[in-house]
Amino acid sequence: MLDVRDINQYYGGSHILRGVSLQARPGKVTVVLGRNGVGKTTLLKALMGLVPIRSGAIEFEGRPIHQATPFQRARAGIGYVPQGREIFGRLTVEENLRMGLASRGAGEPVPPQLFELFPVLAQMLRRRGGDLSGGQQQQLAIARALAARPRLLILDEPTEGIQPSIIKDIGRVIRTLATGSNMAILLVEQYYDFAQELADEYLVMQRGEVIASGPGARMRDSGVRELVAI
């Protein structure tokens, strides 16, 4: 579904992404791991068109999108949950969810499946996003991205600053989306155990390059924990 080939990205004179290639397949969770500052978030921003690439190709469902705008990529079927959640704190939960429907046209209802995945949101529709706990905000951010029914979901460190009980809930939702709806999921994560539990495929980044990759079932034997240890 997503095919990234040999992309390079620069900030000024700094070479940030160096020949990065990856694929995300329907029904599978592809995990990108690495220490802070190796280019993981920049990679996701490049995939969403928030930063330009210097060279290489990005294809979604067989079509090149590396020159498409962020909103065109969203309309094509890519959902993005940024690091830090970035919900609208002054808007209610329901209004945040409706923001996720912006590309679907006026009058589109909030999909009821979102409340099956995240029951707590149904109880808090009238509460402002800024009044939610960190874990609830993360659930809201994921639900907002899912509102437009994407075929590819990109998540940037969804466990950051989240209590263990909600981490388990988020993991359950990610696996349900991949296996139940055949969605492709690209997950950037630092929490090794969470990544290992979910990964069908993994990549490890270091200094803007992919230095290791393979099936998720081989992460332990391949010494991935040591590669990403701080």
Q: Dump pLDDT digits (tens) for 116-173.
A: 999 999 999 999 999 999 999 999 999 999 999 999 999 999 998 888 889 999 999 9
Q: For residue range 193-221, what is the model confidence (pLDDT) as tens digits?
A: 999 999 999 999 999 999 999 999 999 99
pLDDT score, position 230: 58
pLDDT score, position 229: 81
Domain boundaries, the chain: 2-228
pLDDT score, position 106: 65
pLDDT score, position 182: 87
DSSP 196: H
% of the chain with per-residue pLDDT over 90? 81
Residue 158 tokens, joined:
């969804």
Q: Which residues contact 213 (CB under 8 A, 6 or more apart)?
A: 22, 201, 202, 203, 204
Give me the CATH code for the 2-228 domain, please.
3.40.50.300
Separation of first and last alpha carbons in the chain: 32
pLDDT score, position 219: 94
Q: For residue range 72-107, what is the model confidence (pLDDT) as tens digits?
A: 999 999 999 998 888 999 999 999 999 988 877 667
Cα–chain-centroid distance for residue 168? 17
- Report the C-alpha gap between 35 and 104 in whole angstroms: 36
| CA distances, 158 to each of 8, 84, 168 (Å) | 25, 8, 11
- Report the C-alpha gap between 178 and 206 in whole angstroms: 27
